[in-house]
């Protein structure tokens, strides 16, 4: 197998770590070009040395001195700031892993797309905010987007060799998160520690809270709409607490194809690393007899309104999905900082969507402007909360 080059945007995070674990097991097959972080300079420096990266970048420029110190005496280039992050993302590679959390990942992901390369996208917030701006850039530059999110990776696999025009339903499965069986009083008192303790997946803090509110599934609904244009009325969500079926596609003849696997992000990441082939992973084989039962429930949108808010936002169009995402990022950060209660996250997003929504952004700059405005408005709403 020939050596392929890779850059990992968000190398110090949960998806970054799972990706590097797979690369570590296949070191002779990969040449690491850029590794990036926000400010985890020590960890980034360690990884860049281990993998012999060409360049390591911290997005927060104030962390550059720490990164320089961590890399002193090595051949790895060190850089800091958002412009340096985008420049690193523009270095030509065979595969870019877009695994920064939040809309902060949008500009570097778009920079990678502009090179016309192959991008394995984990950073769902970027696609939710930019929507058509990102998919148009993919088409214009002849780039390829591979979905890392386990649900979208499952759908992508279930669509292979089939005609998307023959799809009756795309069904996203949702674990329901740690609070699936909680009542309204319990939810109102939920703590950040409880919210990040996901029953099936080990993930970063922000996506774990999103899973607990079900906003993760709302964002994924919008993500699926952009990745698999079957029409919004053919996308649906079902709660499946075991997270064994990662998503399904039903065709017009009544056949449903599903992708199953362990709750380990190394499976969908491996499918992107090896695409269009397959590779070995160290993941446990699926033990269906051990699991015993697979169950399914309709989502409870009274207790968990986030999926409804996301559906309303994408149906409303314009910049509503970008506003939804920005308000959610502000609200989740406030919850994790202990400033607001768990159920206030959806309340704040709802209030943000009830304000005047700007028209659909046409360029990356428009998206970033909408995102900035929506963040300021959400922060004001937070103050009055």
| CA torsion angle 29 35 41 44 (round to 10) | -10
To the nearest whole angstrom, how small is the minimum distance from the Cβ of residue 253 to ligand NDP?
31
- Residue 147 or 250: the one with the smaller Cβ distance to ligand NDP is 147
Q: What letter would DSSP give residue 170? A: E
To the nearest whole angstrom, how small is the minimum distance from the Cβ of residue 136 to ligand NDP?
21
Q: Which residues contact 123 (CB under 8 A, 6 or more apart)?
A: 9, 10, 98, 99, 100, 101, 102, 105, 106, 109
Rounded Cα gap, residues 51 and 314, in angstroms: 40
- Residue 41 or 258: the one with the smaller Cβ distance to ligand NDP is 41
- Residue 40 or 343: the one with the smaller Cβ distance to ligand NDP is 40
Residue nearest to ligand NDP (CB): 13
Nearest to 323 by CA among 181, 131, 187: 131
To the nearest whole angstrom, how small is the minimum distance from the Cβ of residue 331 to ligand NDP?
15
- Residue 210 or 250: the one with the smaller Cβ distance to ligand NDP is 210
Q: Which residue has the tokens 């992050």?
A: 85
- Residue 102 or 241: the one with the smaller Cβ distance to ligand NDP is 102
- Residue 250 or 273: the one with the smaller Cβ distance to ligand NDP is 273
To the nearest whole angstrom, how small is the minimum distance from the Cβ of residue 278 to ligand NDP?
20
For ligand NDP, the binding residues (CB under 6 A) are 10-16, 37-40, 59, 99-101, 104, 122-125, 149, 201, 203-204, 206-207, 265
To the nearest whole angstrom, how small is the minimum distance from the Cβ of residue 200 to ligand NDP?
10
To the nearest whole angstrom, how small is the minimum distance from the Cβ of residue 168 to ligand NDP?
26
- Residue 100 or 340: the one with the smaller Cβ distance to ligand NDP is 100
To the nearest whole angstrom, how small is the minimum distance from the Cβ of residue 84 to ligand NDP?
11
Rounded Cα gap, residues 150 and 159, in angstroms: 14
To the nearest whole angstrom, how small is the minimum distance from the Cβ of residue 6 to ligand NDP?
15
For residue 80, the cross-strand partners are: 58
What's the Cα-to-Cα distance from 166 to each of 231, 251, 258, 286, rounded to whole Å? Answer: 12, 6, 16, 30
- Residue 40 or 307: the one with the smaller Cβ distance to ligand NDP is 40
Rounded Cα gap, residues 185 and 190, in angstroms: 9
Question: In a 3-state reduction of DSSP, which class is residue 100?
Answer: coil
Q: Which residues contact 226 (CB under 8 A, 6 or more apart)?
A: 127, 131, 132, 134, 135
Instruction: Round the CA-based radius of gyration of the chain to a whole number and report it.
Output: 20
For residue 170, the cross-strand partners are: 235, 249
């Amino acid at each position: 197998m020939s050596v392929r080059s890779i850059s990992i945007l968000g190398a110090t995070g949960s998806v970054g770590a799972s990706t590097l674990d797979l690369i570590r097991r296949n070191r002779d097959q990969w040449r690491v070009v850029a590794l990036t972080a926000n400010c985890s300079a020590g960890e980034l420096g360690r990884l860049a040395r281990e993998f012999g990266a060409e360049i390591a970048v911290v997005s927060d420029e104030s962390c550059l001195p720490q990164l320089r110190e961590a890399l002193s005496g090595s051949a790895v280039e060190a850089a800091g700031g958002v412009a340096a992050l985008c420049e690193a993302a523009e270095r030509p590679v065979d595969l870019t892993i877009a695994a920064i959390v939040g809309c902060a990942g949008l500009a570097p992901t778009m920079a990678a797309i502009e090179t016309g390369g192959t991008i394995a996208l984990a950073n769902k917030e970027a696609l939710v905010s930019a929507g058509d701006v990102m998919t148009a850039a993919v088409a214009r530059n002849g780039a390829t987007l591979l979905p890392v999110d386990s649900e979208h990776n499952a759908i992508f696999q279930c669509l292979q060799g089939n005609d998307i025009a023959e799809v009756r339903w795309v069904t996203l499965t949702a674990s329901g998160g740690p609070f699936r069986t909680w009542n309204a009083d319990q939810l109102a008192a939920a703590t950040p520690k409880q919210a990040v303790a996901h029953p099936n997946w080990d993930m970063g803090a922000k996506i774990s809270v999103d899973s607990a509110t079900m906003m993760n599934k709302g964002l994924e609904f919008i993500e699926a709409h952009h990745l698999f244009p079957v029409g919004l009325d053919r996308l649906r969500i079902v709660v499946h607490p075991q997270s064994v079926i990662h998503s399904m596609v039903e065709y017009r003849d009544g056949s449903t194809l599903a992708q199953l696997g362990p709750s380990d992000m190394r499976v969908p990441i491996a499918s992107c690393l090896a695409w269009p082939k397959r590779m070995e992973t160290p993941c446990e084989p699926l033990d269906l007899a051990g699991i015993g039962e697979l169950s399914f429930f309709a989502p409870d949108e009274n207790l968990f309104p986030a999926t409804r808010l996301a559906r309303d936002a994408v149906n409303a169009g314009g910049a509503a999905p970008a506003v939804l995402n920005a308000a959610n990022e502000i609200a989740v950060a406030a919850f994790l900082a202990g400033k607001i209660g768990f159920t206030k996250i959806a309340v704040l997003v709802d209030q943000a969507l009830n304000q005047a929504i700007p028209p659909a952004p046409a360029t990356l700059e428009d998206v970033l402007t909408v995102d900035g405005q929506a963040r300021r408005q959400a922060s004001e709403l937070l103050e009055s909360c």
